Structure 1
Amino acid sequence: MGHTPFLRLSNLRSFWSSLVVIITCFTIMMKSIRYNFIHSYSMKQKPNLPPGPKPWPIVGNLPQMLANKPAHKWIHNLMKQMNAEIACIRLGNVYVIPVTCPTIATEFLRKQDATFASRSFSVATDLVSTGYSTTALVPFGEQWKKMKKIVTNHLLSPLKHLWLHHKRTEEADNLMFYVYNKCKMMNDGTYGFVNVRNVARHYCDNLIRKNTFKVRYFGEGREDGGPGFEEAEPVDSIFDLLNYVCCFSVSDYMPFLRELDLDGHQKKVREALRIIKKYHDPIVQHRIKQWNDGLKIHEEDWLDVLISLKDSDNNPSLTFEEISAQIIELMLATVDNPSNAFEWALAEMINQPELLRRAVQELDSVVGKDRLVQESDIPKLNYVKACAKEAFRLHPIAPFIPPHVSMSDTVVGNYFIPKGSHVVLSRQELGRNPKVWNEPYKFKPERHLKSDADDVALTEPNMKFISFSTERRGCPGVMLGTTMTVMLFARLLHGFTWTAPTNVSTINLSESDDDILLAQPLLVIAQPRLPPKLYHL
């Protein structure tokens, strides 16, 4: 009996402890039920991802991508099979969202531009930008803001464009001199062959090299105005880099494989950069020393501008690494589009001689035959610009633009786009979308001519195709890119008569198996059509 009160007290405590446990468990259970209900409800309310192939665990759709190279053809074929203008392909743990519809593209880059203003991390872009120290390839952040401001305001402003006018003219004159020397009449009365790809690429690179370093040649150059080995080697390396900057590499979607470099991209990018820097970096270092020693006080080119920029404490705004990387990025961004557009356009126009005749007639009407085309003529050359614009539409330099990375979850086109998704707008299929373009695979410059009074711009504001990127990630060099492109077209169309080789009935317009360049460099006959004195420097 003496133990009864204690037992009762113990039982009472046990009861209350059990009750607390039961209440706690019940509370947790109810919270769990509530969470699951809300989560389930919210999942039902959330739109689906865009359509796409069923991913494998962990690796996603990487096996399909690797089995169907090149990746851009696999992606485009997949979308056509699904009859989809937006898709979702999971590569590793990354959602890749390709887009071929202008309306959806506009929603990504106009209505929700702030959400998609970042860039992806990749082996190639990391190496090319020296650890993301440049502009175009850099994820959203303070470094990008700093470099974008510098490039836009100090290198590519209208004032700087005017400042470098004479350098562009020098290279346009050298272009005529070089092609003239390549196509001089032989002893048998025939004219020489011209490799149009080679000529166009070196003109573009010469122009940017002159803007940057105030020189045309790293070495001795050639008497005929063409490149020597010291110019050809870095130009080839620039185009090698372009192949890898926007490629689909396994290592970029499964980072733990990067050290293995399974596809060899890292090795090739490093080698191309080594070659370019072999020529660039000694000039940059020497010029920095000249400025530091007071031997230079006036800006003469882009390099001088970059070196002389000061921060609020009067210290250099940019490091050697930033300057070196930004110069390479500028070259990557400027040499590809104009050269590729002219090669494709000339091939198309030789196959449609009436287009070539119309362009030449316009040039003769505006310029005459007693002088060379000048930049001041550009506003009046609407048909020539329409030819360039049509080349940008039908034959872009790359299948996709660099990825725009979503910085938060969002909804586009009634589809859920998760944070971190890589949105890649298809340059190739936007410009060939049959819902937008009549006869999309036919080269028709007149489709861009609304009236004789309207000035033809090479940009496309409604995302029906992409010549220059837009909005926050827009290309700050539209003025320079337009000028380079139109002058390349106008000088060569005005200065020479272009025909296919005598043993060729039509130019083969097949695309390369690996990319969307012309399968073989365009090799054609050029014949001077202006007074000889105009071709001499």
Structure 2
Amino acid sequence: MCFFTEYFPSSLHSPNQNIGVLFIILSILPTIILVSYVLILVLFKWQHNVNNMSRNPLPPGPKSWPIVGSLIQTYTNRPISQWIHKTMEEMNTEILCIRLGNVHVISVTSPEISCEILKKQDTLFSSRPLCNSTFLPSSGFRTAIFAPLGDQWKKMRRIISSEIVSPKKLEWLHASRVEEADHMVTYILNKFKNLTSSTSCIVNVRMVTRHYCANIMRKMHFNKRFFGSGLQDGGPGEEEMEHVDAIFTLLDHVYAFDIADYLPCLGFLDIFGHNKIIKKAVDSIRKYQDKIIDERILMWELGSRIEEEDILDVLILLKDKEGRSALTPEEIKAQCLELMLAGVDNPSNAFEWALAEMLNQPNILTKATKELDKIVGRQRLVQESDIPHLNYIMACAKEAFRLHPISYFIPPHVPTDDVIIDGYFIPKGSHVLISRYGLGRNPRVWTDPLRFDPDRHLMDDGSCVNLIDSEMHMLSFGMGRRGCPGMKLGSTMTCMLFARLLQTFDWRLPENMISIDLRSESKIGTSLAKPLLAQASPRMTN
């Protein structure tokens, strides 16, 4: 009573008020305890970081606000990836630290630092962040790319490497890839059948290349090109158009800078509509794929299917040490979706950009077609076995990967402990972003970096061009434990796409067009702002 007498004298005259005040204090006490606990944790982490930074500072970066960090700056300077690279250029640094909420986002454009992260200390940087944008596509982080470090990732990575993209499996599925390369050529040739007064036609290069890649992935996974009947000329139908559009929409938003990843308390607001877009895209993809998967599982259970024909069969029939199914139906569905995402973007984007560059520099196009005529000729179609002999074609592909990567960054790496990199303190749990864009355009590494010049990749001794740069002066497919296990497949698809389209057709600018604007990229990613339209005419003798 003394306490309330001293601080609440009026309570002596009103028992009800006394009880009310006591009730208020008791009701807010849990909140006070929770806030105090959070403040203690924040102060403890701050003190821990200060102790480490007293020896090694964080990488340089823009000034940040309490609690929100640089979120205000990033979301008023969208697209964020471009703003990050612009900030690095202005600060003249090849490693940048931006604090978003309570997360340190580290951007790297230095090949030396990238090698330190992805090669020398790769084990420490082998985890992934738990992001809203990857939860739904991976069915709760069940897949090889999106799962954080742990048993689930190890299982899925092992299955992909040994059972899906192994040399033996790629050879097994060779006929499917050849069939789709033939189909792509036939589809374009069909466009000439209705022409009466012209020997050339306008081709939507983006549509052709994206659907070529998607057709290969569908053929390898489900042993079918179309979900529906397709078009009479061999082009994609409504189902395939929706499927591919959804894949690229999802690719544009996976690992996007969603505010909910840095301030989870705001996640329910879905401020920029990311969650809604991702859910719609995932639903569009899975409504076609999941039906096939469910039907196929039932066929194997009933014994009406007796022979493996595609990747889906392989995934269904995998057994663990006890002889049980190694994968649940949900894991199969999630992994098929992820493999589809991984297989369609890089090759199609590389060829679209490369052809645009070649149309502006016809001498490069001429050099590429001369190599094809010399090595393969015009009497037969180029095959995968010809690729190792097509050095200039591979140099063109590598230059496209360097100058025009499919995305600004590879998927983020998360250190599992505090670490010092190049003299800088990188806190545990940071999102480390290795920049494809920054590495490939680093003026310290590349002479005239903005010029498309395949010759820069040719060796004086004539040795074969390797699409993978071990010194990380550029990144084609990633590297290290989290690197793309399907590099061989991706390289083959890319080079076949280049070789087939350059061998079978002459390409030139549409009439009344002087050159292609190569300075404009899409607002979300790094693709051309508008789909490339080019004039094509057959060049094969048969």
Is TM more than 0.5 here? Answer: yes
Equivalent-residue separation in structure 1 for 2:55 and 2:122 (angstroms): 21
- Whether 1:78 aligns to 2:78 is no
Q: 1:516 aligns with which of 523, 526, 542?
A: 526
Matched to 1:449, the amino acid is: L
Secondary structure in 2 aligned to 1:268? Answer: helix
| Counterpart in the other structure of 1:447 | 456
- What is the one-letter code of the residue matched to 2:124? T
Residue aligning to 1:258: 267
Distance (whole Å) between structure 1 residues aligned to residue 322 and residue 347 of structure 2: 40
Q: List runs of 5+ in structure 1 lacking aligned partners.
A: 1-34, 533-537
Residue aligned with 1:128, SS: coil
The 8 Å contact of residues 124 and 269 in structure 1, kept in 2 or not, is answered as yes
Q: How far does residue 356 in structure 1 lie from its aligned partner after superposition?
A: 0.4
Q: Does 1:196 align with 2:189?
A: no
Using the TM superposition, give the Cα deviation of residue 515 of structure 1 relative to its aligned residue in structure 2, in angstroms.
2.1
Residue 361 of structure 2, aligned match among 339, 352, 357: 352
Residue 296 of structure 2 is matched in structure 1 by 287
- Once residues 512 and 438 of structure 1 are traced to their aligned partners in structure 2, the CA distance between those partners, rounded to angstroms, is 26
Query: What letter is aligned with 1:517?
Result: S
Task: Provide the rounded CA distance (Å) in 2 between the counterparts of 1:265 and 1:200.
Answer: 27
Q: Could you list the per-position Cα deviations for residues 426-451 of structure 1 after superposition, in whole angstroms to 9, with x for gaps in the alignment?
A: 11111000000000000000000013
Moved more, 506-515 or 219-228: 506-515
Matched with 1:23 is none
Match of 2:9 in 1: none
Query: 2:310 maps to which residue?
Result: 301
Among 449, 465, 469, the alignment partner of 1:456 is 465
Distance change >3 Å, CA 418–CA 183, structure 1 → 2: farther
Contact 2:49–2:427 (CA under 8 A) maintained in structure 1? no
Q: Mapping of 1:31-430 within 5 angstroms?
A: 42-43=51-52, 45-184=54-193, 186-430=195-439
Task: Give the whole-Å Cα distance in 1 for the aligned partners of 2:57 and 2:165.
Answer: 42
Distance in 2 between residues matched to 1:43 and 1:496, nearest whole Å: 60
Which residue matches 1:15? none
Gaps of 5+ in 2: 1-43
Instruction: From the superposition, tell whether residues 43 and 102 of structure 1 become closer, same or farther in structure 2 (CA, over 3 Å).
Output: closer
8 Å CA contact retained: 1:370, 1:531? yes
Question: What's the CA shift for 1:337?
Answer: 0.2
- For residues 313 and 524 of structure 2, the distance between their equivalents in structure 1, rounded to whole angstroms, comes to 39
TM-score if structure 1 supplies the norm length? 0.90
Q: SS at 2:408's partner residue? A: coil
The C-alpha deviation readout for 1:471-530, integer Å capped at 9, x for no partner, is 110111011001100000000000000000111011121222332111110001000001
Q: What displacement does 1:190 show?
A: 4.8
Q: Give the TM-score normalised by the residue count of structure 2.
A: 0.90
Distance 1:114 1:55 in 2: 30
Residue 514 of structure 2 corresponds to 505
Mapped partners of 2:309, 2:462: distance in 1:
38
Instruction: Please give the secondary structure, in 2, of the residue aligned with 1:145.
Output: helix
User: For residue 538 of structure 2, what is the aligned residue in structure 1?
Assistant: 528
How many percent identity over aligned positions? 55
- Give the superposition deviation at 1:45: 4.8
Q: Deviations 1:64-86 (Å, cap 9, x if unpaired)?
A: 00100000111011111110100
Question: What letter corresponds to residue 521 of structure 1 in structure 2?
Answer: P
Q: Which residue of 2 aligns with 1:11?
A: none
Separation (CA, whole Å) in 2 of partners of 1:41 and 1:58: 16
Secondary structure at the counterpart of residue 279 of structure 2:
helix
Q: How many residues align?
A: 496
Per-residue deviation, 1:42: 5.0
